[in-house]
C-alpha cells in the first residue's frame, strides 16, 4: 500500500506555535514520526510522501488544503492516508480529521490516532479509522505500533469492520457484511429471545432525526414571493441533467419554459412511483398552473421563476440535508419568503 502521511509543523520539525501559519508543503520523503511508522510496516506498505501543514494554516485555509491533499493523494496514486497521531492537540486533531475527510471523499482509507477528548475525534470520526492514544506524544511508539499493525492487516485482509475487535473508535457508518444465516432465521431468533426474556441485540439502532424549526408565518401573503420545490423529479424532456431515479446526487433549478407549453414537455425521473401521470403534465407534480392562478388573483404576491427539482426516492438523509441547505440559500438569495414543497 502506498501511504501519504499528514503531519503538522511541530512534528515536521519546522517549529512550534510561532510556525503554526506554515503553509501546505509536500515532501517526497519520510519525515519525523513517519520514520517510526515506516519501520513498523510490512515490506509491501510504505510512506511515499509526507504532507506538512501548520495547524493554523489548515484551519484558515481548510478548502484549499483539502483540495491540495486530494491532489497529493492522486499524484502519488496513494491507497491510504495516515494523519498524525494528534494525541490531545486540539487544532492538530481537527487538521488530522480534515485530512482523513479529504481521503475518505476520494474513496481512500484514512487512519489516525487521537486522545479520546480530542475535539477532532467527534467531528471527523466517520471519515477514518481513528485509534485511541494517550494524551501526549510520549505515547508515539504505542500509537504507531497499533496503527502499523492495523495497516498491515487491512493491506492483506481488506478493511476491518469490527471496531470492538480492532480497537478503533466507532465510526458510526453502516457497512454490508455476510453472515452465517439468512435474515429470516435471524428474525425468528430475535423474536424467541425477546419472548424468553433473554438479552438480544438489534441489528439496526433507531436513527435519531434532527428537527427543523419552522420559520415564522408570512405576514402578508399577497406581497410575498413564493417558490415551488419538488422531490417528485419532473424534468425537461430527455432529462438533460440526468437526475438519477434513486438516491439522486443532484438538484437543479428549471424555469417554466424548460418544461414546454403548460408544462407538457415534462418527464418524470423519479424511480419510486409510476411516471404516467406526470409525464407531459408537470403540473400534476409541481403545481405551477395553480400558483400562477393564485398570483393572478392576488392571493400571493408573485411566483418565483425558479422551480427547484430533485428526486427524493431512497435519498440518504444526510444528502437531503445538504441539498436543503443549498436550496435554502438560493431561496434567500432570490428574496423568496415562502415555498411549497411537493413530494411523491
Contact residues for another protein, defined by CB under 8 A: 104, 126, 161-163, 170-188, 190-196, 200, 202-209, 242-247, 249, 271-277, 313-319
Closer to another protein by Cβ: residue 193 or 299: 193
Closer to another protein by Cβ: residue 76 or 273: 273
**What cell numbers appear for 176 in the block?**
454490508
Closer to another protein by Cβ: residue 206 or 216: 206
Shortest Cβ 109–another protein spacing (Å): 12
Closer to another protein by Cβ: residue 55 or 258: 258
Closer to another protein by Cβ: residue 24 or 273: 273
Closer to another protein by Cβ: residue 177 or 216: 177
Only one residue has cell 415562502, namely: 338
The CA distance from 292 to 271, in Å, is 28
Shortest Cβ 189–another protein spacing (Å): 9
Closer to another protein by Cβ: residue 66 or 135: 66
Burial environment of residue 213 by CB neighbours within 10 A (0 to 12, 13 to 18, 19 or more): exposed
Shortest Cβ 143–another protein spacing (Å): 20
Per DSSP, 14 falls in state S
Shortest Cβ 184–another protein spacing (Å): 4
Burial environment of residue 274 by CB neighbours within 10 A (0 to 12, 13 to 18, 19 or more): exposed
Query: Do residues 230 and 286 lie in contact, with contact meaning Cβ atoms separated by under 8 Å?
Result: yes
Q: How far is CA 32 from CA 6, 83, 85, 98, 194, in A?
A: 11, 13, 12, 20, 54
Query: Do residues 153 and 160 lie in contact, with contact meaning Cβ atoms separated by under 8 Å?
Result: yes
- For 263: left if phi > 0, alpha if psi spans -120 to 50, otherwise beta; the answer is left
Shortest Cβ 137–another protein spacing (Å): 28
Shortest Cβ 2–another protein spacing (Å): 21
Shortest Cβ 272–another protein spacing (Å): 7
Closest CA to 33 of 153, 113, 126, 131: 113
Closer to another protein by Cβ: residue 77 or 318: 318
The CA distance from 61 to 57, in Å, is 6
Shortest Cβ 327–another protein spacing (Å): 18
The CA distance from 10 to 16, in Å, is 5
Only one residue has cell 438489534, namely: 202
Residues in contact with 327: Cβ distance below 8 Å, sequence separation at least 6, in sequence order: 229, 251, 308
Amino acid at each position: 500500500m502506498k501511504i501519504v502521511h499528514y503531519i503538522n509543523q511541530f512534528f515536521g520539525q519546522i517549529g512550534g506555535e510561532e510556525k503554526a501559519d506554515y503553509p501546505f508543503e509536500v515532501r517526497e520523503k519520510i519525515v519525523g514520526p513517519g520514520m517510526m511508522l515506516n519501520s513498523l510496516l510490512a515490506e509491501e506498505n510504505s510512506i511515499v510522501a509526507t504532507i506538512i501543514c501548520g495547524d493554523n494554516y489548515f484551519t484558515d485555509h481548510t478548502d484549499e488544503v483539502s483540495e491540495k491533499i486530494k491532489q497529493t493523494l492522486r499524484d502519488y496514486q496513494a491507497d491510504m492516508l495516515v494523519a498524525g497521531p494528534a494525541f490531545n492537540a486540539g487544532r492538530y486533531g481537527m487538521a488530522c480529521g480534515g485530512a482523513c475527510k479529504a481521503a475518505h471523499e476520494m474513496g481512500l482509507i484514512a487512519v489516525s490516532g487521537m486522545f479520546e477528548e480530542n475535539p477532532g475525534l467527534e467531528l471527523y470520526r466517520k471519515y477514518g479509522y481513528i485509534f485511541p492514544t494517550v494524551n501526549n506524544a510520549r505515547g508515539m511508539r504505542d500509537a504507531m505500533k497499533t496503527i502499523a499493525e492495523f495497516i498491515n492487516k487491512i493491506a492483506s485482509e481488506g478493511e476491518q469492520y469490527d471496531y470492538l475487535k480492532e480497537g478503533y473508535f466507532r465510526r458510526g457508518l453502516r457497512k454490508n457484511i455476510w453472515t452465517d444465516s439468512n435474515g429470516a432465521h435471524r428474525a425468528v431468533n430475535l423474536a424467541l429471545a425477546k419472548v424468553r426474556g433473554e438479552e438480544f441485540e438489534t441489528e439496526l439502532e433507531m436513527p435519531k432525526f434532527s428537527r427543523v424549526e419552522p420559520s415564522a408565518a408570512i405576514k402578508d401573503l399577497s406581497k410575498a414571493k413564493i417558490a415551488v420545490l419538488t422531490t417528485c423529479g419532473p424534468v425537461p424532456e430527455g432529462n438533460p441533467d440526468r437526475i438519477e431515479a434513486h438516491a439522486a446526487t443532484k438538484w437543479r433549478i428549471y424555469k417554466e419554459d424548460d418544461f414546454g407549453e403548460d408544462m407538457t414537455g415534462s418527464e418524470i425521473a423519479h424511480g419510486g412511483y409510476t411516471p404516467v401521470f406526470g409525464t407531459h403534465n408537470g403540473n400534476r407534480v409541481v403545481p405551477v398552473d395553480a400558483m400562477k392562478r393564485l398570483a393572478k388573483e392576488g392571493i400571493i404576491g408573485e411566483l418565483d421563476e425558479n422551480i427547484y427539482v430533485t428526486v427524493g426516492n431512497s435519498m440518504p438523509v444526510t444528502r437531503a440535508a445538504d441539498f436543503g441547505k443549498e436550496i435554502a440559500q438560493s431561496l434567500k438569495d432570490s428574496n423568496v419568503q415562502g415555498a411549497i414543497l411537493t413530494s411523491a
